[in-house]
């Protein structure tokens, strides 16, 4: 093969994913030529440390620690951004787009926060900006939402979109270990970062849910619209009691639209053990998409990892190059066209799992259930268990569908009751439509 027009790529970042991208471009070159008609060449690579020892051999000439050497290189057609962070990455990409370079990014933080501005800049300069790798690693979920379901109205997106927390929760559940201990293990194995905040507090997953919601519901959803609760407070007891009632705790992203009103959250959730999401373990991701017409669909695959993520990046690159060949870059984006209206708490409904520590007295149960009835909360299941402390008992309530507003009123009241020693935990419950 020779004589193909060369496409020159500038790579911002040569960490795990960047290295994967370089491997794929090199290793799958002949296939990529068949797909696009072009040979792809990495023209320059921005790194932090030019002398760092690398997993792959890279021509020293290509490597620079000066971003402008990449961004201002007029021969570069496409910038692949895998350096992460918001700043100065945002400024770099805005610059690149303004100069007419197409961008492929794996940066969910950036897309969740500044996606709209970046896409507007891309559109203005007839540039492509693709970001399949930013959500759910190797799963082509963005393409599914944007193209596959273009004709449908999505009503719900539910999924596991963070592999680190899923790994931690899986381990906690399988081995009965506390959060802190599993976190340390996960860090040793490289499944969790040295500073795990973004993962374990749910921020990473929240950004992904913002991106998915934006595309699924055509609303300008950003990360601030997502209710976020991480997994740091999930206890061994919650997991154990959940299991007794047939649930596994998963960090679940839920985005629902009814009558153009939206709710988006990421929170630890009691998932029916028969629901396939309960069985997604380790670093895998799984996303259910419900459409008015299509019904229930599910997408499953590796949520992270060098080569899976690189697959998404380089597939985006293939799309960009095909569109370069047709001269139609930057024309395909449908900007959010529905006004964003978030549901108030009285419209957000769920079943809930409530764990209370109560005084072990006659009439406690009657009192609590009476209060629930007064707040229009009906019970699906109740379980009383001995507590480790004497004269206390564990009480687990699983409610029928109720509004968050009702739930909060009920919980506020419970706080004040003397017979309640502690509200130990509250989780939404996801039974799944296939149980």
CB of 1 to its own copies, least distance (A): 11
Binding residue per annotation — 12?
A: yes
Residue of 308, 349, 358, 414 interacting with its own copies (CB under 8 A) = 308
Q: Contact at 8 Å (CB) between 210 and 183?
A: no
Pairing state of beta strands 261-272 and 227-228?
parallel
The region of 66-74, 225-233, 292-300, 365-373 touching its own copies under the rule CB under 8 A is 292-300
User: 3-state class of 206 per DSSP?
Assistant: helix
Is 423 an interacting residue with respect to its own copies (CB under 8 A)? no
* Strands in 69-216 per DSSP E: 78-81, 102-105, 129-130, 154-160
CB of 434 to its own copies, least distance (A): 8
Is 315 an interacting residue with respect to its own copies (CB under 8 A)? yes
Is 104 an interacting residue with respect to its own copies (CB under 8 A)? no
Residue of 7, 110, 112, 139 interacting with its own copies (CB under 8 A) = 139
CB of 218 to its own copies, least distance (A): 7
Is 148 an interacting residue with respect to its own copies (CB under 8 A)? yes
Distance of CA 411 to CAs 385, 405, 415, Å? Answer: 20, 10, 6
Complex with its own copies: residue 57 or 337, whichever CB lies closer = 337
Binding residue per annotation — 19?
A: yes
Of residues 334 through 393, those in contact with its own copies by CB under 8 A are 334, 337
- 185 catalytic? Reply is no
Complex with its own copies: residue 132 or 238, whichever CB lies closer = 132
**How big is the chain, counted in residues?**
435
Complex with its own copies: residue 150 or 194, whichever CB lies closer = 150
CB of 331 to its own copies, least distance (A): 6
CB of 325 to its own copies, least distance (A): 8
Helix axes 306-326, 16-27, angle to 10 degrees: 60
If binding means CB under 8 A, how many residues of this protein chain bind its own copies? 55
Residue of 18, 196, 301, 428 interacting with its own copies (CB under 8 A) = 301
CA distance 361 to 371: 17
Is 322 an interacting residue with respect to its own copies (CB under 8 A)? yes
Could you tell me which of 309, 244, 305, 289 has the C-alpha nearest to residue 270? 244
Residue 172 has phi, psi (to 5 degrees) of -55, -45
Q: Which two tokens stand for residue 378?
A: 């009906």
Is 328 an interacting residue with respect to its own copies (CB under 8 A)? yes
Of residues 231 through 270, those in contact with its own copies by CB under 8 A are none
Half-sphere exposure (Cβ direction) of 128: Cα atoms closer than 13 Å: 25
Complex with its own copies: residue 168 or 278, whichever CB lies closer = 278
Binding residue per annotation — 17?
A: yes
| Number of other residues whose CB lies within 10 A of the CB of residue 66 | 11
Is 155 an interacting residue with respect to its own copies (CB under 8 A)? no
CB-based burial, 184-206: b 16+ in 10 Å, e otherwise:
ebbeeeebbeeebebbbbbbbbb
State the catalytic residue, choosing from 8, 208, 229, 256. 208
Could you tell me which of 244, 188, 228, 208 has the C-alpha nearest to residue 382? 244
Is 149 an interacting residue with respect to its own copies (CB under 8 A)? yes
The region of 193-201, 256-264, 322-330, 398-406 touching its own copies under the rule CB under 8 A is 322-330
Give the H/E segment covering residue 399: strand 392-399
CA distance 356 to 372: 13
Q: Which two tokens stand for residue 351?
A: 């079943």
Of residues 25 through 44, those in contact with its own copies by CB under 8 A are 28, 31-32, 34-35
Helices assigned H by DSSP within 232-382 = 236-244, 306-326, 364-374
Is 84 an interacting residue with respect to its own copies (CB under 8 A)? no
Complex with its own copies: residue 179 or 217, whichever CB lies closer = 217
* Strands in 231-376 per DSSP E: 247-258, 261-272, 284-291, 295-302, 349-359
Complex with its own copies: residue 69 or 152, whichever CB lies closer = 152
Binding-site residues for NADP(+) sit at: 12-19
Q: Please give the residue ranges that form the binding site for its own copies (CB under 8 A).
A: 20, 24, 28, 31-32, 34-35, 132, 138-140, 143-144, 147-153, 218, 276, 279, 291-302, 305, 307-308, 310-315, 317-319, 322, 325-326, 328, 331-332, 334, 337
Active site residues: 208
């Amino acid at each position: 093969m020779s004589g193909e027009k060369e496409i020159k790529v500038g790579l911002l970042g040569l960490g795990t994913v960047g290295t994967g991208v370089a491997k794929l471009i090199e290793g799958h070159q002949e296939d990529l030529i068949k797909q696009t008609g072009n040979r792809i060449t990495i023209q320059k690579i921005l790194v932090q440390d030019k002398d760092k020892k690398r997993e792959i051999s890279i021509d020293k000439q290509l490597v620079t620690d000066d971003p402008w050497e990449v961004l201002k290189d007029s021969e570069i057609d496409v910038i692949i951004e895998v350096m992460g962070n918001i700043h100065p990455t945002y400024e770099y990409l805005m610059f690149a787009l303004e100069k007419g370079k197409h961008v492929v990014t794996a940066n969910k933080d950036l897309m969740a926060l500044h996606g709209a501005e970046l896409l507007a800049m891309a559109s203005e300069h007839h540039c492509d900006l693709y970001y399949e790798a930013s959500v759910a690693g190797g799963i082509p979920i963005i393409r599914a939402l944007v193209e596959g379901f273009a004709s449908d109205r999505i009503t719900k997106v539910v999924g596991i979109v963070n592999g680190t927390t899923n790994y931690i929760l899986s381990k906690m559940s399988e081995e009965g270990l506390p959060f802190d201990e599993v976190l340390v293990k996960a860090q040793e194995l490289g499944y969790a970062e040295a500073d795990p905040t973004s993962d374990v507090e749910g921020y990473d997953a929240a950004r992904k849910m913002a991106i998915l919601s934006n595309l699924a519901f055509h609303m300008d959803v950003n990360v601030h619209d997502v209710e976020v609760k991480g997994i740091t407070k999930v206890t061994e007891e919650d997991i154990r009691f959940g299991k007794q009632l047939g649930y596994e705790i998963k960090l679940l992203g839920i985005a629902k639209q009814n009558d153009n009103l939206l709710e988006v959250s990421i929170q630890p959730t009691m998932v029916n053990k028969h629901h396939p999401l309960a069985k997604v373990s380790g670093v895998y991701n799984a996303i259910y998409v419900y459409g008015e017409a299509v019904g229930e669909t599910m997408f499953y695959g590796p949520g992270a990892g060098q080569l899976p993520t690189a697959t998404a990046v380089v597939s985006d690159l293939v799309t960009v190059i095909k569109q370069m060949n047709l001269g139609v870059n930057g024309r395909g984006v449908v900007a959010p066209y529905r006004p964003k209206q978030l549901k108030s708490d009285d419209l957000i409904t769920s079943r809930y799992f409530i764990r209370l520590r109560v005084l072990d007295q006659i009439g406690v149960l009657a009192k609590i259930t009476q209060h629930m009835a007064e707040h229009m909360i009906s019970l699906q299941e109740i379980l009383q268990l001995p507590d480790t402390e004497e004269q206390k008992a564990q009480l687990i309530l699983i409610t029928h569908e109720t509004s968050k507003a009702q739930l909060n009123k009920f919980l506020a009241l419970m706080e004040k009751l003397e017979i309640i020693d502690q509200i130990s935990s509250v989780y939404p419950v996801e039974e799944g439509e296939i149980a």
